[in-house]
Amino acid sequence: MWKMHWLVILAVLALGCGKPTGSNESSTAQNASAAVAEGGAQLDGPGVAVGEFLEALRTGNDERASKLLTATAREKTASLNRNVTPPASDTARFSIGKIDYVNDDGARVACTWTDLDEQGQPKTDEAIWVLRRQPDGWRIAGVAAQVFPGEPPLLLNFEDPDDMFRKQQWVREEMRRRMEAGSSQAQKEEKQEKSVRR
């Protein structure tokens, strides 16, 4: 069975039902303030912003996560009365990777997110966070990640909820199609196995 990628869950929840805002902002900020990149280097700028955002996602702190979005993304999600955080996960871990600057006001930050799958085994996903420098600091505008093996990365633009909704629908339909195809194949194999036994 296909497991929905954590970034797609993020998009689904951003467009799904709203939920009460979290209130553990001080502990989230404290945990993320010492964010370090892979290899132990101290982070700054967009790396810190992504670290704080991921910690807010990990702990389910909607208020903190929302404050780390660009002004446009905050406005769009607020107008839809939506939050951007999936359910908190005590088992999730993340690390910040390479930071690429795009002009003076843009950046892309690589990260990994590891959590337990349905069988309780660690599963690691990679993503690239897209940030923009704003008057209040570096803020999250979107994220790109591979949802299905062999497919190009899916870009979720938090500043364009309509586009996110279309992509969410496509992912759901594609998951359903792949699950049905897998189920049909399993049934065919079972029938072939039974006919061989006779």
Lowest model confidence (mean pLDDT) among 25-39, 131-145, 158-172? 25-39
The answer to whether residues 35 and 47 touch, using CB atoms and an 8 Å cutoff, is yes
Residue at 21 is within a domain = yes
Whose tokens are 């629908």? That residue is 169
Residue at 89 is within a domain = yes
Residue at 170 is within a domain = yes
Residue at 172 is within a domain = yes
CATH number of the domain to which 181 belongs:
3.10.450.100
Tell me the pLDDT band of 14, cut-offs 50, 70 and 90.
very low
Tell me the pLDDT band of 171, cut-offs 50, 70 and 90.
confident
**Residues 6, 4, 83: CA angle, nearest 5 degrees:** 50
Distance CA 15, CA 156 (A): 12
Strand partners of residue 116: 122
Examine the pLDDT at 128 and tell me if it is beyond 50.
yes
Examine the pLDDT at 29 and tell me if it is beyond 50.
no
Average pLDDT across the chain, whole number: 76
State residue 197's pLDDT score.
Answer: 60
Q: pLDDT, tens digit, for every residue of 41-77?
A: 445 699 999 999 999 988 988 888 889 999 999 888 7
State residue 7's pLDDT score.
Answer: 56
Tell me the pLDDT band of 23, cut-offs 50, 70 and 90.
very low
Q: Average pLDDT, stretch 108-127? A: 90
Which amino acid is residue 111, in one-letter code? Answer: C
Residue at 146 is within a domain = yes
Q: pLDDT, tens digit, for every residue of 87-110?
A: 678 888 999 999 999 998 999 999
Which amino acid is residue 63, in one-letter code? Answer: E
What share of the chain in percent tops pLDDT 90? Answer: 27
Residue at 59 is within a domain = yes
Sheet holding 154-157, edge to edge: 93-102, 106-116, 122-134, 137-145, 154-157
The pTM of this model reads 0.72
Q: 169 or 192, which is more confident?
A: 169
Examine the pLDDT at 78 and tell me if it is beyond 80.
no
State residue 28's pLDDT score.
Answer: 36
Domain region containing 160: 6-197
Residue at 1 is within a domain = no
Residue at 179 is within a domain = yes
Beta strands in the chain (DSSP E): 93-102, 106-116, 122-134, 137-145, 154-157
The answer to whether residues 110 and 120 touch, using CB atoms and an 8 Å cutoff, is no
Looking at the structure of the chain, the number of domains it has is 1
